[in-house]
Amino acid sequence: MNFPTKRRALITGASSGIGKATALAFAQAGVDVALVSRSQEKLETVAEAVRQAGVKAGVYPLDLAKVELVREGMSAIASDFGPIDILVNNAGMGYTGTLMDTPLADWQGVMDLNLTSVFQSIQGILPMMRQQGAGIIINVASVAAYRAFPGWCAYNVSKAGLVALSKTLAEEERGSGIRVTTICPGSVNTPIWDTETVQADFERSQMLTPEIVASSILQIALLPQGAVIEEITLMPSAGAL
């Protein structure tokens, strides 16, 4: 199913995992996509696949962990690519560690990327959406926002904060025509499990795939302007793992 009119989406964390799958799903639906991540090389690979679907793809390397650069960076991307109709805040990191074992610097790093960068991304794009009188912001949180998994303290808290941010934004922008959705997936088989900050041994074959999450994000974005899914929890049939 395609959008009735041409749309532009900006996706963070677009070089792999859920972000990459979402970019490809949007492309198949006829949506132009601005791709944001740290690695230009990986983004170029995704962009090439997106363009094969016949839509426009823009490549924008930006380190969202440098939160002081995010607001202006996102605003500049939108100015270059064109007015953004759909913002998918997907970039984030995993982190394992108990409350007592988490250094302050690590805690701040998780909060910066998983929460503060989203806050700054929204501030960079929101003025343009307000001018349009429409737009949808989809924030990728986690079931960890509601289920306090032991050994995942900073991650749990960052995702709970993201849910609260989404709910506040939704209430503040109802009169602006801007819709806000939070998607809370269970375990997803992405490269996050291979990163140095995550020490966990789960059966990844039973996790959700990035493509399943991406299809849900697309369906959320496909809703007509007069409707919104405020929050969705998407779980593997095997459970949270």
Backbone φ, ψ for residue 233 (5° rounding): -105, 125
Backbone φ, ψ for residue 97 (5° rounding): 165, 140
Residue 241, pLDDT > 70, answer no
Q: Longest Cα pair distance anywhere in the chain, in angstroms?
A: 52
User: Which class for 98: exposed (0-12), middle (13-18), buried (19 or more C-beta within 10 A)?
Assistant: exposed
pTM score, whole prediction: 0.95
Taking alpha carbons only, the member of 29, 92, 104, 101 closest to residue 64 is 92
pLDDT digits (tens, 9 = 90+) for 5-18: 789 999 999 999 99
Q: Token pair for residue 141? A: 């949180």
Task: Tell me what the mean pLDDT of segment 7-34 comes to.
Answer: 98
CB 51 within 8 A of CB 34: no
pLDDT digits (tens, 9 = 90+) for 49-75: 999 999 999 999 999 999 999 999 999
What pLDDT shows up at residue 4?
Answer: 58
Q: Is 60 a catalytic residue?
A: no
Which member of 60, 95, 146, 155 is catalytic? 155
What average pLDDT is seen over the chain?
95
Enumerate residues 6+ apart whose C-beta is below 8 A from 226.
Answer: none
Residue 45, pLDDT > 90, answer yes
Question: Residue 200: which pLDDT band, with cuts at 50, 70 and 90?
Answer: confident
Question: Residue 193: which pLDDT band, with cuts at 50, 70 and 90?
Answer: confident
Task: Tell me what the mean pLDDT of segment 113-129 comes to.
Answer: 98
What pLDDT shows up at residue 191?
Answer: 83
What pLDDT shows up at residue 90?
Answer: 98
Query: Hey, how many other C-beta atoms are within 10 angstroms of the C-beta on 227?
Result: 7
Q: Which domains does the chain have, with CATH numbers?
A: 8-234 (3.40.50.720)
CB 140 within 8 A of CB 18: yes
Q: Indicate the length of the chain as a whole number.
A: 241
pLDDT digits (tens, 9 = 90+) for 146-192: 999 999 999 999 999 999 999 999 999 999 999 999 999 999 998 88
